[in-house]
Chain A
Amino acid sequence: MSAAVREQTPPREDLTERVRWAIHDGLVLTRRNLLRYVRIPTLLVFSTVQPVMFVLLFRYVFGGAITALPPGARTYVNYLMPGIFVQTAIFGATQTGIGLAEDLASGIIDRFRSLPTARSAVLAGRTTADLFRNLFVVLLMTAVGYLVGFRFQEGAAFAALAIGVAVLVGFAFSWISATIGLAIREVESVQAASFVWIFPLTFASSAFVPIEGMPGWLQAFARNNPVTIWANTMRGFTLGEEFVRAIGENMGGLVLRSAVWIALILVVFVPLSIRIYRRT
Chain B
Amino acid sequence: MIEVQGLRKSFGEVVAVDGIDLDVPEATVFGLLGPNGAGKTTTVRILTTLLRPDAGRATVAGLDVVRDAERLRHVIGLAGQTAAIDENLTGYENLEMVGRLYHLPKQVARTRAEEILERFQLTDAADRPARTYSGGMRRRLDLGASLVGRPRVLFLDEPTTGLDPRSRLELWDVIRELVRDGTTIMLTTQYLEEADRLADGIAVVDVGRVIARGTPDELKARVGGEVLALRVSDRSRVPAAAGAVLGLGPGGGKVDNNTGEITIPVGPDGPRLLTEAVRRLDAEGIEIADIALRRPTLDDVFLALTGHGAEEAPSGPPSARRRARRRAGRAA
Report Cα–Cα, A36/B149, bound state, in Å: 24
Whether the pair B84, A7 counts as a contact (CB closer than 8 A) is no
Whether the pair B71, A10 counts as a contact (CB closer than 8 A) is yes
Q: Which of B86-94, B163-171, B232-240, B313-321 lines the interface with chain A?
A: B86-94
Q: Which of B61, B74, B84, B149 contacts A108 (CB 8 A)?
A: B84
Chain B residues 135-181 with CB under 8 Å of chain A are 145-147, 149-152, 178, 181
Q: Which of A12, A21, A25, A32 contacts B86 (CB 8 A)?
A: A32
Total interface residues in chain A, CB < 8 Å: 33
Whether the pair B181, A2 counts as a contact (CB closer than 8 A) is yes
B71-98: contact bitstring with A at CB < 8 Å (1 yes, 0 no)?
A: 1111111101111111111000100011
Whether the pair B88, A39 counts as a contact (CB closer than 8 A) is yes
Report Cα–Cα, A114/B146, bound state, in Å: 10
Whether the pair A115, B73 counts as a contact (CB closer than 8 A) is yes
Q: Which residues of A contact B45 (CB under 8 A)?
A: 110
Q: Which residues of B contact A121 (CB under 8 A)?
A: 101
Q: Which residues of B contact A35 (CB under 8 A)?
A: 88-89, 93
Tell me, yes or no, whether B102 is within 8 Å of chain A by CB: yes
Tell me, yes or no, whether B189 is within 8 Å of chain A by CB: no
Chain B residues 213-253 with CB under 8 Å of chain A are none
Q: Which residues of B contact A106 (CB under 8 A)?
A: 82, 84, 87
Total interface residues in chain B, CB < 8 Å: 48
Whether the pair A107, B82 counts as a contact (CB closer than 8 A) is yes
Report Cα–Cα, A108/B86, bound state, in Å: 7
Q: Which residues of A contact B43 (CB under 8 A)?
A: none
- Among residues of B, the one whose C-beta sits closest to the C-beta of A105 is B82
Tell me, yes or no, whether B182 is within 8 Å of chain A by CB: yes
Whether the pair B89, A107 counts as a contact (CB closer than 8 A) is no
Chain A residues 53-106 with CB under 8 Å of chain B are 106
Tell me, yes or no, whether A5 is within 8 Å of chain B by CB: yes
Q: Which residues of A contact B78 (CB under 8 A)?
A: 110-111, 114
Tell me, yes or no, whether B70 is within 8 Å of chain A by CB: yes
Q: Which residues of B contact A257 (CB under 8 A)?
A: none
Whether the pair A6, B152 counts as a contact (CB closer than 8 A) is yes
Report Cα–Cα, A265/B332, bound state, in Å: 32
Report Cα–Cα, A36/B85, bound state, in Å: 13
Report Cα–Cα, A28/B100, bound state, in Å: 7
Q: Which residues of B contact A107 (CB under 8 A)?
A: 80-84, 332
Report Cα–Cα, A41/B35, bound state, in Å: 43
Q: Which of B48, B73, B88, B182 contacts A36 (CB 8 A)?
A: B88
Q: Which residues of B contact A29 (CB under 8 A)?
A: 97, 101
- Among residues of A, the one whose C-beta sits closest to the C-beta of B330 is A185
Tell me, yes or no, whether B273 is within 8 Å of chain A by CB: no
Whether the pair B73, A7 counts as a contact (CB closer than 8 A) is no
Chain A residues 11-34 with CB under 8 Å of chain B are 12-13, 21, 24-25, 28-29, 32
Whether the pair A116, B74 counts as a contact (CB closer than 8 A) is yes
Tell me, yes or no, whether A223 is within 8 Å of chain B by CB: no
Chain A residues 215-242 with CB under 8 Å of chain B are none
Report Cα–Cα, A10/B74, bound state, in Å: 7
Tell me, yes or no, whether B129 is within 8 Å of chain A by CB: yes
Whether the pair A5, B82 counts as a contact (CB closer than 8 A) is no
Chain A residues 176-208 with CB under 8 Å of chain B are none
Distance between B47 CB and nearest chain A CB, rounded to angstroms = 10
Tell me, yes or no, whether B211 is within 8 Å of chain A by CB: no
Q: Which residues of A contact B71 (CB under 8 A)?
A: 9-10, 12, 116
Top-10 shortest CB links A-B:
A3-B182, A107-B82, A111-B84, A116-B73, A107-B84, A114-B78, A117-B101, A39-B88, A108-B84, A36-B88
A-B pairs with beta carbons under 8 Å apart, 26 shown = A3-B181, A3-B182, A5-B150, A7-B74, A7-B149, A9-B63, A10-B71, A10-B74, A24-B100, A29-B97, A32-B86, A39-B89, A40-B88, A106-B87, A107-B82, A107-B84, A107-B332, A108-B85, A110-B45, A110-B80, A111-B84, A111-B145, A114-B48, A114-B73, A115-B98, A116-B103
User: Which residues on A are within 8 Å of B, measured CB to CB?
Assistant: 1-3, 5-10, 12-13, 21, 24-25, 28-29, 32, 35-36, 39-40, 106-108, 110-117, 121
User: Which residues on B are within 8 Å of A, measured CB to CB?
Assistant: 27, 45, 48-50, 61-63, 70-78, 80-89, 93, 97-98, 100-103, 115, 129, 145-147, 149-152, 178, 181-183, 332
Extra inter-chain contacts (5) besides given A6-B150, A40-B88, A107-B84, CB under 8 Å: A1-B178, A25-B101, A35-B88, A36-B88, A114-B77
